[in-house]
Amino acid sequence: MRDKGVGATMRDMVVGSQRRTELLRGVLDLCLLAVMNEEPAYGYEMTKRLRERGLAIVGEGSIYPLLGRLERDGLVETYRAASDGGPMRKYYRPSSTGRLALALGVSEWRAARDAVDAVLAPVKVEVIHE
């Protein structure tokens, strides 16, 4: 009976991948601004940089509409240049407004992360597999 209750509770909770998707959705624009701030990048290059840091965006939808929004809002500048031995690509880099937005966003993220950590850090959960 107890196991069944726990199982039902777990089913009702958002499963890990969905939670990860929701969390990432709110900060993906910051992540894109951050990786292009290191060095201008085109779409797929940004995806690669994110993946190299363990941030696969499967399930989050494409980054392209998000890049379009950043461009429309004046947070990025674009230019076309040939990639290494490849075709002409559209490169993105943060504008001055984008760098300011990145700084503010990082500050907000850290504040939110610290607050959540303060709540969750003391939690000690032991999961027993039977």
Give contact residues for another protein (rule: CB under 8 A). Answer: 22, 25-26, 29, 42-44, 47-48, 56-62, 64-66, 68-69, 71-72, 83, 86-90
- Write down the least CB distance from residue 127 to another protein, Å: 28
List of residues 6+ apart from 74 with CB closer than 8 A: 95, 97, 98
Nearest distance in Å: CB 130, another protein: 35
Structure tokens at 121: 């850090």
CB of 19: closest distance to another protein in angstroms?
Answer: 12
In angstroms, the CA 24 to CA 20 distance is 6
Q: What tokens appear for 2 in the block?
A: 């107890």
How many residues can be counted in the chain? 130
> Which residue, 1 or 58, has its beta carbon nearer to another protein?
58
